Chain A
């Protein structure tokens, strides 16, 4: 479904702030699999997601999605294939527009907007039913501005919007990081229901060891712009949060060696 080859990206090239965010990422994701991505700050995990979404053009490499080479596609064109939920609950919805208007935009993801009415009675009825299933008490607030909702409610709606038309790939970028634990839990359960129910191919970046271990059927660990661990379904089932923490510490210890030695050790042992 998603095929990434040799992806590289450097920000602020040639300036003192130069950041080599992606240093040659190869990744192949099968249709219907749910991949969690974990890594420390600055490891490039969010950059990888953004590169797939088209937030910037990569310097090197090739991204193939659903059999199409999308490497040079602008962000809005890739949105036809991709549903997205952002880390910041404010990013995924238009705050000064109503719930119904936001959802109406989502029902036409990937289509050029034309002059038909955005809302209809039938559409509003469908919205009400789908929102009732979220169990967040929003079904009677279709005409409230989204800006008046809590972060958790917004993330739940964004998730609903991203998957309203079945996306070929769902990108979740630490989508519970800004929520309190209880709400995060609610959004995660909703994520599981939707992903499993629709059999969505999903790439989820997370900061939470707990989520990384318990969600999905494959785990990828990133470090310094590369994928350093790729744990498949069978090994992941046995994985515990402590194991993951141990692996993190290992990486950190390796970091304290000089880069050349670290490279050599990585070649030897990874």
Chain B
């Protein structure tokens, strides 16, 4: 049960990462490597502020803002200085590695002794349940701290989803989607696509950093290595989500990214429980994304071949 709760919680926290990747990768068609650095940046900024006694909510939002700034830098490198998008992201990601070490002052900041959103949620949950530390949920013994964090992550994700859905239906959001869909058309309608890309990458990395800030508080530490491979992780979630919802509609793709993230985390947790070597996790994630990316084209080719054979 606690495995399930833990997977759900991490899945929901990383859903914010998936939504960020969805914005850069699917809406803007921009493979933004900044993600690996900005998720750590969010965690680092939040952690160091918490250690200095700043209120958890403020520290978390500050982490998100720092990530947004990093995304904006990638966007400016790409649009203003005409650097290849992939390279711009890699440059910022690499720079962020040093920056994150500077922010944290060391490679790992433990948060066990400080206040955090996780602890505030737990305290709130206990107060609501009259001071118990565990309760019975459909026959299972569930700890209040696990449940409280799950509810918190769920609320944050739902709020972000609704916010994103509404945002992408405004004039600005519509223009941003058009920038990814057909930049020539939206320029001909008078929109500065460079500005749209900078704002879009800021939004994307802001969400990714928010995910990092929450993750650090949930697992009780921020680590300079925690971002490695996170872009691919987010991508895997987005791809699973698309397979799940089979729709291009805005609401469905946003919901799909969240569902994909939760499902992917569950699959990973089960695989680890079955004895998968944790060291192989990133390799398997990469292979998974590779297969998911080539599968649609492969399936179409096989279908065509079958049809051709049928005609002959």
Q: Which residues of A contact B (CB under 8 A)?
A: 53, 74-77, 79-80, 82, 84, 86, 90-97, 101-102, 104-106, 108-119, 145, 161-162
Contact = CB atoms under 8 A, between A and B. Distances in A.
B189 A109 contact: yes
Contact of A77 (B186, B190, B196): B190
A106 B172 CA distance: 13
B169 A118 contact: yes
A113 to B, nearest CB: 4
A118 B188 contact: no
Given A94-B182, A96-B248, A109 B169 contact: no
Question: Is the contact region of chain B dominated by helix, strand, or loop, or is it mixed?
Answer: helix
Contacts of A53: 188
A102 B174 CA distance: 9
Contacts of A101: 174, 177-178
- In the complex, which of the residues B177, B178, B185, B188 has the most CB atoms of chain A within 10 Å of its own CB atom? B188
Contacts of B185: 91-94
Contacts of B193: 76
Contacts of A91: 182, 184-185
A7 B63 CA distance: 51
Contact of A97 (B171, B177, B190): B177
Interface string B160-172: 0000000101111
A79 B188 contact: yes
Contacts, number: 96
Contacts of B142: none
Interface residues of B, number: 25
B174 A76 contact: no
Contacts of A79: 187-191
A97 B189 contact: no
A86 B175 CA distance: 19
Nearest to B179: A94
B183 to A, nearest CB: 9
Nearest to A88: B184
A94 B177 contact: yes
A80 B248 CA distance: 31
A95 B248 CA distance: 12
- In the complex, which of the residues A80, A82, A101 has the most CB atoms of chain B within 10 Å of its own CB atom? A101
Given A94-B186, A104-B174, 7 more contacts: A93-B182, A106-B189, A108-B189, A114-B172, A117-B171, A118-B173, A118-B174
B181 interface: yes
A117 to B, nearest CB: 6
Contacts of B196: 113
B248 A105 contact: no
Given A76-B190, A91-B182, A94-B186, A115 B174 contact: no
A90 B184 CA distance: 10
